[in-house]
Amino acid sequence: MKKRAWIVFFDESGISLLPEVRRTYAPRGRTPTLRHRLNWKRAGMAAALGYHASDPHRGPRLCFHLKPGS
């Protein structure tokens, strides 16, 4: 009996797109300023990786979605 089933691994997480603050070398009394061009602070991310159970020749499938501002 041939089944049309998929095995799917799903993951969801939230990320911050602002750069991390680190120590840098600068002359004493002058605090370095980090500049970035990102226009949102957080994003939600979801991904699914699927394998076809009965047909290994189809190969894996990756689905990815990013939602800014969530």
pLDDT of the chain along its 70 residues, tens only? 566 788 889 998 887 766 666 667 778 888 777 676 666 677 788 999 998 877 778 788 888 887 776 6
Q: Are 45 and 69 in contact, with CB atoms under 8 Å apart? A: no
What are the beta bridge partners of residue 61?
50
- Residue located via tokens 């699914």: 48
pTM above 0.75, yes or no: no
| Of 39, 48, 45, the residue nearest 14 (C-alpha) | 45
Extract the tokens encoding 42: 């957080």
Cα distance between residue 60 and residue 7, in whole Å = 10
